[in-house]
Homo-oligomer: A and B are copies of this chain.
């Protein structure tokens, strides 16, 4: 069973301020929990159903501490409406401040609010081999349980840095691309070299005025129909796909 003390702790970790205070977050569901255990990230506690622990005897060893519990207990403390597998409580990672590497593509998120969008963007970064995401300090927290759920294990490989964006972008050497309406078409771009920063703006308001002077190239996904806009996760995927295509064929 999940003790009162652990139940209270896990429930508190739904909120950023308690994740920060405790330096912990949690991961839900069979696949993500198995990925965390395999990753070597420090797991403080593992709660699993008898079925889950029976099928993964190694999981208990990897976690050092495994507590058998019921699916309903997992659902009570976590965010999944259905979880008949496990929850792992994990230490928050600490990344070095962002440092520019020539040739790397870096995503820059300017106040992304929706956790599902952030999770999707982390998964896209992982697919396209982007190791670092710069986030404005008001972007939704990467260890929000909904971000973790939609990032599908990719949060283990992509590093998110929450830093004042204008300060960082003011000092970089590589080009800074910004997604705008009415910029250069990503189908016709010419790149002098691979690598740079790709700025994506807030879901409703786009890129903030403060960052505008720091954008060196405005780029756009060409429209062939009548939709007004694309979701920020979709726009991210299409832009990154085009930039990686151009980088890899040059």
Partner-B contacts on A (CB < 8 A): 120, 123-130, 152-154, 157, 187, 221-231, 233-234, 237-238, 241-242, 244-245, 248-249
Contact = CB atoms under 8 A, between A and B. Distances in A.
Given A238-B237, A245-B187, A124 B224 contact: no
B187 A228 contact: no
Given A124-B230, A126-B227, A187-B249, 14 more contacts: A123-B230, A123-B231, A127-B223, A128-B223, A129-B225, A129-B226, A152-B229, A153-B227, A154-B226, A187-B248, A222-B244, A222-B248, A234-B234, A234-B237
A125 B225 contact: yes
A127 B231 contact: no
Contacts of A187: 245, 248-249
A58 to B, nearest CB: 21
A245 to B, nearest CB: 5
The CB with the most chain B CB atoms within 10 A, among A125, A153, A187, is that of: A187
A152 B228 contact: yes
14 contacts: A123-B234, A127-B223, A128-B223, A129-B224, A130-B225, A152-B227, A152-B229, A153-B227, A154-B227, A187-B249, A224-B244, A234-B234, A238-B241, A241-B241
